Every structure is written in C-alpha cells, then in structure tokens.
Structure 1
Amino acid sequence: MVGIDLGSQLAGTTALAVLDGDEVVIRQSEKGKSADDFIQNQLKELSVGSLVGIDAPLSLPEVYSKEALDLTEEPDFHYRECDKKVKAMSPMFLGGLTARAMKLAHHLQQKGLKIFEVYPKMVFQNSIQNREGYKKKWNRILAEEWLCELEAKHGFKLQSGLENWHQFDAVLALTATLRIYRGEAEKVGDENEGVIYF
C-alpha cells in the first residue's frame, strides 16, 4: 500500500509513503530527475491488487467528457463536484500536474494496481486535534507530534524521521489509502466525474 504526494516533475518534491507490514518507509524524488520515472521505479515491485493513493486530481470536470455535450444547464468548466465539497484546487488550475497524475494512474492501473485520488488536507483535518502550523514553515517537532497521533490512531510506525511537508503529506495520503482498505474512508464527489477519498 502506498501514498503519493505528487509534486512538480523535476523539483524533487514528490514523496512516497510505503506501508510494509506495519512499518512505513518514506522515499522522495531527487531534484533535477523525473518524478514520474521515480514513482514507476519505486512501485514496480508492488503486487497486483495493491492500493495506491495519489494526492493529485485524477479526472477533469464532467463538462470535458463526451457525455457532457448534451448538458442543458451551464456547466462548471473549472471544478468537479468533489473539489467544491472539500475546497480543493481546480484540476484545470493544476493543468500539467493533473495530466501527469492521470497518465500515472492509467499506467499503474494497467499493471493491476488499484488507484485512488486522496486528499491529505482532509485526512489531517479529521485526524489531528491541534492543527496550527500545518504547511507553514517546516517544523519537524510539530510534524513528529502529529505523526505520533497518526501512528497511534492508525496502527503504523514510521521507520525514520520526516524531512519536509511533502513527506508528511505522503504519510497522510497513505493514511487515506489505509482507511480505504479498512472501509473507513469518507468520500465526496460523483463516480462519473471524480471522487476524492480521505
């Protein structure tokens, strides 16, 4: 089982949290190297049926589908229903990241993996009591405190410390994926347009 915080292609900000038994291993892409190649290489050993949660849009608003051509109401060209419900960024605003995420999901599904769009921010809001400081300047002590809450609540243990918010978000993405596996995840959206799990 894997949680992915998908970052810019060459920025070195893509992080993975891989669950092995009850231990979580963190891996992060290198600056200047392809994040997509990094993910493909890291996941090539996963067994068929493994769950992967990706923190990035995996679909576009319904208006861009062939079925939407007959809509009588004014469609939303920017947001999916799931984006509106959790106040997420528009897949259209994220453009290249959305296209990369959709392509990645397609390739991983062809390998027999089960892919889900997850939203770490909602996992965080639903799991952590004192949330002040999230995604501000990196604060290892605060992140480690929050990590202890997640570990106690969800029954996993991180092998090593966290180095940045990307790695923390990968753990949150993994937490959402674990909740999907256990049948505990909340979801919003329309199955025909896109669903976000947390």
Structure 2
Amino acid sequence: MTLTHWIGIDYGSKTSGNTVICHHDGQVLQFYDADRRDADAFIIRFIEQVQSASIQHVFIDAPLSLPGVYSQQEGCTNFHYRQCDIALKAMSPMFLGGLTARAMELRQTLTQKHAISVYEVYPKAIALLELKNQYHKKLSKIDFPNLCNLLTAKYPDLHFNEYPRHQHQFDSLLAWLSGYRFIHHQHQIIGEPSEGQVII
C-alpha cells in the first residue's frame, strides 16, 4: 500500500472551518482546510475527486460509536463513556452529541457508498506517545517545524512542502500518522471490539 491510500482527518463542527484533511500526494503531505459551509460534504467531495481515487482508508478524530450500554451489550453500564474513552481520558461521545452523530453517519456513507474503511483515532494519544510534554492544545505556528522534525526523525516517510500552520492541521497530521502506524502494523488498539476501538 502506498502513502497515498489513506487520509487523516481532524474533525470539527459542521460550519466552523476547523475540519482538516491530511493526505500524502505521493511526494509530500498536504493539508486541506474545510470551508465554513459543510465539513461533511467537503470530506466526501475530496474523496470523490479523481486524484483521491486511490484512498482506501480514513482515520478520523471523532467518536464512531456510542457506549455499549445503549445497545444492551453485556457488562456495559456506563451511559457516558466507552472503555476506550476512559483509557484515553477522552471526552464522552454523548457530550460531543451532534459531532458524534455526524461522524457515525459519515462513516456509514463512506463505507457503503465508497467502500472505504473508517477508523477512529485520537491525535492527543499519539502526540503524547511520540512528543511527550512538547505537545499541548495551544501550539502556535512557530512550534510546528520542530515538532514535525521530531516526528520525521522516527518516521522518515514524512515529507513536507509546508509545515502545518495551525493546531487543526497538525492534529490532522497526527491522525494521518496513526494511519501510517496502522498500515505498517506499528499501532496500538484501545477499547473493546464490540463497543468501539481507537487506533493509536
């Protein structure tokens, strides 16, 4: 599988413009910021483009399932968090509400209409794994070259024409990197298969 076969997505509210796709074009990693109209339509349009025809997998920073208690899964009693959320200290899919529903609908669309596999990732987890305390949620543009160089030292396939310009682009890179680790069998899996798992 080549580096062009998957994308990483930092997923935001529908009209915020904070959704970003990270994709390797065969030469370098590129970042594509959603417009403020419809982030989900933006993602689908990107995948339907001719140059994106080779995409087989999507790695998205958004919950793709609800706590198992809602589907009467044995042993699941928590109405707010899945086991993967607790392990990663992530936000509740229920608190995220509409974003979770949109992500689940988007996965269904991509899976059924485009035969694309969609996986849940959590950029903060891979950042803490690879960058330790150098990663935080108030990074500025001047931080990204150094952080990208640290990642490139471990993952030489990372090549940039331009470094990320803001946090959402950097988080989409981390989502893409989670995909890289998955494709190369270097990943970790957090959570239960029946309830929801996160790729790190």
The answer to whether the superposition gives a TM-score over 0.5 is yes
- Cα 1:150/1:167, change in 2 over 3 Å: same
Q: Quick one: which of 5, 9, 20 aligns to 1:4?
A: 9
Preserved contact between residue 49 and residue 113 of structure 1 (Cα < 8 Å): yes
Matched residue, 1:41: 45
| Count of matched residue pairs | 191
2:115 to 96, 112, 123: 112
* In structure 1, C-alpha distance between the alignment counterparts of 2:76 and 2:26, rounded to whole Å: 48
Bigger drift between 46-55 and 173-182 goes to: 46-55
Please give the alpha-carbon distance, in whole angstroms, between the structure 2 residues aligned to 1:88 and 1:130. 17
Match of 2:128 among 112, 125, 129: 125
Name the amino acid aligned to 1:195: Q
Q: 1:181 to 1:76 in 2, by over 3 A?
A: same
Question: Which residue of the partner structure matches residue 27 of structure 1?
Answer: 32
One-letter identity of the residue aligned with 1:108 = L
Q: CA deviation at 1:169?
A: 0.2
* Greater length-normalized contact order (CA 8 Å, ≥ 6 residues apart): 1
User: Per the alignment, do residues 179 and 144 of structure 1 end up closer, same or farther by CA in structure 2, a change over 3 Å counting?
Assistant: same
Secondary structure, aligned partner of 2:95: coil
Residues 99-149 of structure 1: CA distance to partner in whole angstroms, max 9, x if unpaired?
A: 0000111111121111110010011011114515x211x411212210111
- 1:160 aligned onto 2:165: no
Residue 144 of structure 2 aligns with which residue?
143
Extract unaligned runs of 5+ from structure 1: none
Cα offset, 1:47, TM superposition: 3.9
RMSD: 1.6
TM-score by length of 1: 0.90
In the TM superposition, residue 158 of structure 1 has moved relative to its aligned partner by 2.0
Shift of 1:21: 2.4
1:48/1:112 contact within 8 Å kept = no
> TM-score, structure 2 length as denominator?
0.90
Amino acid at match of 1:165: Q
2:29 and 2:158 in contact (8 A); partners too: yes
> Within the alignment, does 1:59 sit opposite 2:80 as a pair?
no
State, as a whole percentage, how many aligned pairs show the same letter: 38
